Structure 1
Amino acid sequence: MECVFGLVGDGFAIIASDTSAVHSILVHKSNEDKVMILDSHKLMGASGEPGDRVQFTEYIQKNVALYQFRNGIPLTTAAAANFTRGELATALRKNPYFVNIILAGHDKDTEPSLYFIDYIATLHKVDKAAFGYGSYFALSIMDRHYHRGMSLEDAINLVDKCITEIRSRLVVAPPNFVIKIVDKNGAREYAWREFIKDAATGLPTT
């Protein structure tokens, strides 16, 4: 029941993801970080098969770093998105990766951007995106409440609405989420949204 979603606001982009590592009916861990910091000003949120997700995102991260090391300048967000799309397309006819990606970044002198890249190498620049079972609810909430030029506070409130809806509507809902943000000051972790049970009643609280 994976879910990763993101949106662009006024001078920033946010990606949020569940933190559950599951296989079949088993939950192996609930603190798996699925939003990778590619470099100082880029984030990559990924969902899909765990092995493919980890291997492919690390491969992209190291190649982005290699490009900067060789050339002395970082890839732009658009260039990183097109490189990622190219690698997925190349692998598609050889040994495909089942991984869906939301790539966010902030480039110098340009607005923040968000890219939707799915496992069959479809690439689109978007204002909001989501993957996984939770996307059915996250996309509907964002369609209703999202608007261009959102402040950071409004965007975080919208992310929290999506998380609340996913937790309440999915049959098997991921308990914890991580939220990361990228703006002119860089890419960083913003907060965790943990599912906590009240010690007295044993009932979940937010």
Structure 2
Amino acid sequence: MECVFGLVGKGFALVVSDTSAVHSILVHKSDEDKIMKLDDYKLMGASGEAGDRVQFTEYIQKNVALYQYRNGIPLTTAAAANFTRGELATALRKNPYTVNILLAGYDKETGPSLYYIDYIASLHKVDKAAFGYGSYFSLAMMDRHYHRDMTLEEAVELVDKCIIEIRSRLVVAPPNFVIKIVDEGGARELHRRYSIGDAPLAAE
């Protein structure tokens, strides 16, 4: 029951993911971080088979770092997204990865951006996107409430609405979520949302 979604606001991009590691009817852990920091200004949220997700995101992270080491400059968000798409497309014809990706980044020239990359190597630049069973509800909420140039407070409020909807609609809903942001200050964790029994949704 994975849920990964993201959106672009005024001067920032958010990526949100559940933190459950589940196989069949078993919950292995509830603090799995599915949003990887590629570099100081890029985040990669991923859903899919656990092994593919971890292996592929680590592979992309190390190659982004290698490019910066060799050339002295980091990849732009668009370049990182196209590199990721290319690697998925290459693997698709050999040994495909079952992984879907939301890549968020911030560039000084172009500002924040969000890229949707699915397991068959489709790439789209978007304002909002979602993967997993939670996408049925989070996309509906974002379609209704999202608007361009959202403030951070508005974006977090919308994220909370999506989480509440996911928890109330899914039969087996993930209890915990992590919210990460990338803006001119860099990529970092913003908030965590815990199950209602542990803490109020809006409490930090």
Work out the CA distance in 2 between the residues paired with 1:111 and 1:145: 22
Alignment RMSD (CA, Å): 1.0
1:135 and 2:130 correspond? no
Work out the CA distance in 2 between the residues paired with 1:50 and 1:59: 14
The superposition leaves residues 36-77 of structure 1 with CA deviations (integer Å, 9 ceiling, x where unpaired) of 010000000000000000000000000000000000000000
1:5 Cα deviation after fit: 0.1
The residue identity in structure 1 corresponding to 2:192 is W
1:109 Cα deviation after fit: 2.3
The residue identity in structure 1 corresponding to 2:63 is N
Work out the CA distance in 2 between the residues paired with 1:132 and 1:24: 15
Equivalent residues in 2 for 1:1-206 (5 A)?
A: 1-197=1-197, 206=201
Work out the CA distance in 2 between the residues paired with 1:11 and 1:80: 19
The superposition leaves residues 128-157 of structure 1 with CA deviations (integer Å, 9 ceiling, x where unpaired) of 000000000000000000000000000000
Work out the CA distance in 2 between the residues paired with 1:111 and 1:37: 18
1:190 Cα deviation after fit: 0.3
Q: With the length of structure 1 as denominator, give the TM-score of the two structures.
A: 0.96
The superposition leaves residues 92-127 of structure 1 with CA deviations (integer Å, 9 ceiling, x where unpaired) of 010000000000000112220000000000000000
Identity of counterpart residues, as a percentage? 81
In the alignment of these two chains, the number of paired residues is 201
Structure 1 runs (4+) greater than 3 angstroms displaced: none
Partner of 1:201: none
Work out the CA distance in 2 between the residues paired with 1:137 and 1:178: 17
1:79 Cα deviation after fit: 0.1
Name structure 2 gaps, 5 residues minimum. Answer: none
